Amino acid sequence: MAEIIRSGAFLQQCWSVHPLCLKVKRVEPERIVVLTCSSCRMVHRVTTDAVTRQDATGDSTSPVIDPAQPDGLPALKNCMGTHVSALSVREMDVFEDALWVRCAECRAQYDLTVSQFETHQK
């Protein structure tokens, strides 16, 4: 049986050592975003309290939040359905319980407020 580690430290280490190997795979029920790493072969799951979608404005100091969609999770799911390979983890902070995912295709950024980090080892 695979070991489950309930800490963001493993995801942060994975992202800092080989960020290009970390991919957003899917969104599961209960607001869980699944990430996989092709280098360390771990599966990281983050349970989200909130997802906010921000549109690119060209000015990084003033992102535009879509007020019509207070919950950005449906937009993230839609983005994953059309161009999942363009999604990447841009930054994360385990002290702030936050993860930022960006889409290179539509240039949207998704700010995830995380309530739980899990790493599944094989």
Enter the pTM of the model.
0.85
Per-residue pLDDT at 42 exceeds 60: yes
Number of domains within the chain:
1
- Residue pair 119/7 in contact (Cβ under 8 Å)? The answer is yes
Per-residue pLDDT at 64 exceeds 90: no
Task: Label residue 70 by pLDDT band (50, 70, 90).
Answer: confident
Per-residue pLDDT at 32 exceeds 80: yes
Q: Which residues constitute the domain of residue 73?
A: 4-120
Task: Label residue 67 by pLDDT band (50, 70, 90).
Answer: low
User: Which one-letter amino acid corresponds to residue 20?
Assistant: L
Across the chain, mean pLDDT equals 88
Length of the chain in terms of residues written: 122
Report the C-alpha gap between 53 and 74 in whole angstroms. Answer: 10
